[in-house]
């Protein structure tokens, strides 16, 4: 019988403290997430110092629970995989220090995981047949990147945002409209009651490039709201949300279709927090079909930050003997792929 490989994944890059055990990169034995969303909501966004302090309080109980839920002990684990970037440096250091302590104390190998690669690898759980090469659209609070996953360890960047990330645009517009943090899900909820064609917001499509730019769209939405308020007009918040969401989705889908046609790839995966957006999933699935390709996206709980994705990514690094020294440091601006 093939040996079972159990990877303990640890994640603390932003406002979720998470740990998970995944067997052979496929079977989720546990998935523990302690979220700080309600704490940061009072401040309208993540406060780094508070995030670090909360991670310190939660990291060991979360890891203990992940092992208990998996009904395993540390000696049953084959490697400890931990996010070492990108993210908030103080937050990253908490998970990284815990992982190093466990690796040192137990003699287990340490694996340093790129958080964004983790988001991409969550898709291996959604589609058992998924195999590189495929296209990936990473849309999170800090990143918007389009890349080719050439094999399990080679990522070629086609384009990325030149200003705001997609999630950041959602969060900023939500904040401007007085909606709570994080804004993406709130905009999506409001948009459900609005008309996506009501307001013709700009679709910034940078020609001859797979790069994105959302700051002009953000300003257009803010200007629209200001102008309508000054006119004393009755503003439909639902229509603003729906039309704004549609503009972002349109830009993302257009670029993905172009990239699918240019590369000839037949599968595209969605990754990062914004991948939870149902309108994006629906529009990208139909856009992909139009060019003879298929969309894969993670299940809802694996769209936002979690440690399952870290363990899955770690599993493929384990197979590649890609181990990190105990001197591994946090890298807050760790990049995804090479140009
Ligand atoms: O990947 P993630 O959980 O954290 C980062 O690594 O950044 O992504 C968080 C981002 C936030 O900007 C949040 O507003 C956005 O993902 N998001 C959404 C939705 N759910 C989360 N954006 C649009 N629609 C959603 N349903
Ligand atoms: Zn993330």
DSSP string over 193-238: TS-TTSS-------TT---B--HHHHHHHHHHHHHHHHTT----HH
Q: What is the pLDDT of residues 261-317, one digit of tens each?
A: 999 999 999 999 999 999 999 999 999 999 999 999 999 999 999 999 999 999 999
| Residue nearest ligand 1's atom 13 by CA | 184
pLDDT of residue 339: 67
Distances (CA, A) of 189 to 220, 283, 314: 21, 17, 34
As given in the structure block, the two tokens for residue 263 are 């590369």
- Is residue 99 left, alpha or beta, with left meaning phi > 0 and alpha meaning psi from -120 to 50? alpha
| List of residues 6+ apart from 33 with CB closer than 8 A | 16, 17, 18, 62, 305, 306, 307
Closest-lying ligand 1 atom to the alpha carbon of residue 272: 1
Query: Rounded CA gap, 187 and 174, in Å?
Result: 6
Residue 165 burial (C-beta neighbours within 10 Å; 0-12, 13-18, 19+): buried
Could you tell me if 17 and 54 are in contact, meaning their C-beta atoms sit under 8 angstroms apart? Answer: yes
Residue 4 has pLDDT above 70, yes or no: yes
Dihedral sign, Cα of residue 299, residue 187, residue 58, residue 107 = positive
Distance 141 CA to ligand 1 centre (A): 5
pLDDT of residue 2: 72
pLDDT of residue 262: 97
Considering every ligand atom shown, identify the ligand nearest to the alpha carbon of residue 274 and give its number. 1
Peptide bond into 182 cis (omega under 30): yes
pLDDT band at 217 (very low <50, low <70, confident <90, very high): very high
Q: What is the pLDDT of residues 54-87, one digit of tens each?
A: 999 999 999 999 999 999 999 999 999 999 999 9
Residue 1 has pLDDT above 90, yes or no: no
Closest-lying ligand 1 atom to the alpha carbon of residue 245: 23
Of residues 154, 152, 181, the one with CA closest to residue 273? 181
Q: Name all residues whose Cβ lies below 6 A of ligand 1.
A: 14, 140-142, 167, 170-171, 182-185, 188, 272-274, 276-277, 304-305
Q: What is the pLDDT of residues 113-123, one digit of tens each?
A: 999 999 999 99
Distance 118 CA to ligand 2 centre (A): 8
Q: What is the pLDDT of residues 189-210, one digit of tens each?
A: 999 999 999 999 999 899 899 9
Closest-lying ligand 1 atom to the alpha carbon of residue 143: 7
Distance 103 CA to ligand 1 centre (A): 31
Distance 171 CA to ligand 1 centre (A): 8
Closest-lying ligand 1 atom to the alpha carbon of residue 87: 6
For the chain, give the mean pLDDT: 96
Residue 145 burial (C-beta neighbours within 10 Å; 0-12, 13-18, 19+): buried
- Cα 92 → chain centroid: 15
Q: What is the pLDDT of residues 232-266, one digit of tens each?
A: 989 999 999 999 999 999 999 999 999 999 999 99
Q: What is the pLDDT of residues 139-176, one digit of tens each?
A: 999 999 999 999 999 999 999 999 999 999 999 999 99
pLDDT of residue 338: 73
Report the percentage of the chain scoring pLDDT > 70: 99
Query: Rounded CA gap, 174 and 7, in Å?
Result: 37
Query: Rounded CA gap, 19 and 157, in Å?
Result: 29
pLDDT of residue 64: 98
Phi then psi for 224, rounded to 5 degrees? -60, -50
**Residue 142: count of CB within 10 angstroms of its CB:** 21
Compute the CA torsion angle 114, 293, 303, 193 (nearest 10 deg).
140
**Residue 249: count of CB within 10 angstroms of its CB:** 23
For residue 245, the surrounding DSSP H or E stretch is helix 237-263
**Residue 38: count of CB within 10 angstroms of its CB:** 10
Residue 25 has pLDDT above 80, yes or no: yes
* Domains of the chain in sequence order: 6-121+303-319 (3.30.420.40), 131-297 (3.30.420.40)
Distance 265 CA to ligand 2 centre (A): 25
**Residue 215: count of CB within 10 angstroms of its CB:** 15
R_g (Cα) of the chain, nearest Å:
20
pLDDT of residue 230: 95
């Amino acid at each position: 019988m093939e040996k079972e490989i159990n990877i303990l994944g640890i994640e603390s890059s932003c406002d979720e403290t998470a740990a998970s055990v995944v067997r052979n990169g496929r079977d989720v034995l546990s998935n523990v997430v302690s979220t700080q969303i309600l704490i940061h909501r009072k401040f309208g966004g993540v406060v780094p110092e508070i995030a670090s302090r909360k991670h310190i309080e939660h990291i060991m109980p979360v890891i203990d629970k992940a092992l208990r839920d998996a009904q395993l002990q540390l000696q049953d684990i084959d490697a400890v995989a931990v996010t070492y970037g990108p993210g908030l440096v103080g937050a990253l250091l908490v998970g990284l220090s815990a992982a190093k302590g466990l690796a040192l104390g137990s003699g287990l190998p340490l694996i340093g995981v790129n958080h964004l690669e983790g988001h991409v690898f969550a898709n291996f759980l959604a589609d058992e047949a998924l195999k590189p090469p495929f296209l990936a659209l990473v849309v999170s609070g800090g990143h918007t990147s389009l890349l080719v996953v050439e094999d399990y360890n080679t990522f070629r960047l086609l384009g990325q945002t030149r200003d705001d990330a997609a999630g950041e645009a959602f969060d900023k517009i939500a904040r401007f409209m007085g909606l709570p943090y994080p804004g993406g899900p709130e905009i999506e909820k409001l948009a459900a009651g609005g008309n996506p064609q009501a307001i013709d917001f700009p679709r910034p499509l940078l020609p001859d490039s797979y790069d994105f730019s959302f700051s002009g769209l953000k300003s257009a939405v803010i200007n629209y709201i200001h102008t309508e308020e000054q006119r004393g007009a009755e503003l439909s918040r639902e229509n603003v949300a729906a039309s704004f969401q549609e503009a972002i989705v349109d830009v993302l889908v257009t670029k993905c279709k172009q990239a699918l046609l240019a590369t000839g790839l037949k599968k595209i995966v969605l990754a990062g927090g914004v991948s939870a957006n149902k309108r994006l999933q629906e529009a990208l699935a139909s856009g992909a079909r139009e060019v003879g390709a298929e969309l894969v996206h993670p299940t809802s709980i694996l769209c936002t930050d979690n440690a399952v994705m870290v363990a899955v990514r770690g599993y493929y690094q384990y197979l590649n003997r890609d181990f990190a020294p105990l001197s591994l440091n946090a890298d807050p601006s760790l990049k995804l792929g090479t140009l």
